[in-house]
Each structure stands twice: as C-alpha cells, then as structure tokens.
C-alpha cells in the first residue's frame, strides 16, 4: 500500500513541478525580449501594448533542461505504481 501511495505522490509531484516551471517562465501577457540589432527596428506585435498572443514567444519552457526533475519524478512514480500492480 505504501508503494502505491509513494508512486501516486511522485506522479502528482512531477506534474505540479512541470506546471510550476511553466508558470516561473514568465507572464504570457508580456512580450518576450527580442535582442534587436542596431540597424533593425523592433518587431511589431499583432496588437499594440501587452497582449496574450505575442508574436515571437518561444516554447523554451517545454524543453528537457527545465522539466527533467518533473519527468524523473513522474517516471519513478509510474514505475512504482506498475511494480505494485504486477506481482
């Protein structure tokens, strides 16, 4: 029973950790800083001012470098859950 509880807690903790990594990445309403060369104008957004849909917002928060602890917790939790099911 303890193995199932620990596995479930690790799985949920991994999901919460990865959600927290996305939230720590930054506000979605602020455009991502784009390094502009001195001879180039700053990029125009789809709408002026802060928006929920900035043009050049990358998906860097989905990479393995920020999510590996959450993925590891989920993997260990799933292995523990499966080890309790399979005799």
Give the pair of three-digit tokens for residue 14.
Answer: 């991994």
pTM listed for this prediction: 0.62
Beta-carbon contacts of residue 17 (< 8 Å; ≥ 6 apart): 67, 69, 70, 73
Query: Quick one: 6 exposed, middle or buried, by C-beta within 10 A (0-12, 13-18, 19+)?
Result: middle
Half-sphere exposure of 80 (CA within 13 A, CB side): 18
45-60 residue pLDDT tens: 555 556 565 555 556 6
pLDDT averaged over the chain?
75
8-17 residue pLDDT tens: 999 999 999 9
What integer pLDDT is reported at residue 36 of this predicted model?
A: 53
What integer pLDDT is reported at residue 64 of this predicted model?
A: 75
């Amino acid at each position: 029973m303890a193995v199932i509880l620990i596995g479930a807690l690790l799985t949920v903790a991994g999901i919460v950790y990865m959600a927290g990594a996305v939230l720590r990445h930054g506000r979605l309403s602020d455009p991502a800083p784009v390094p502009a060369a001195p001879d180039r104008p700053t990029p125009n957004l789809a709408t002026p001012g802060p928006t929920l849909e900035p043009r050049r917002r990358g998906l860097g928060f989905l990479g393995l470098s920020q999510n590996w602890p959450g993925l590891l917790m989920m993997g260990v939790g799933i292995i523990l859950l499966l080890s309790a099911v399979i005799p």
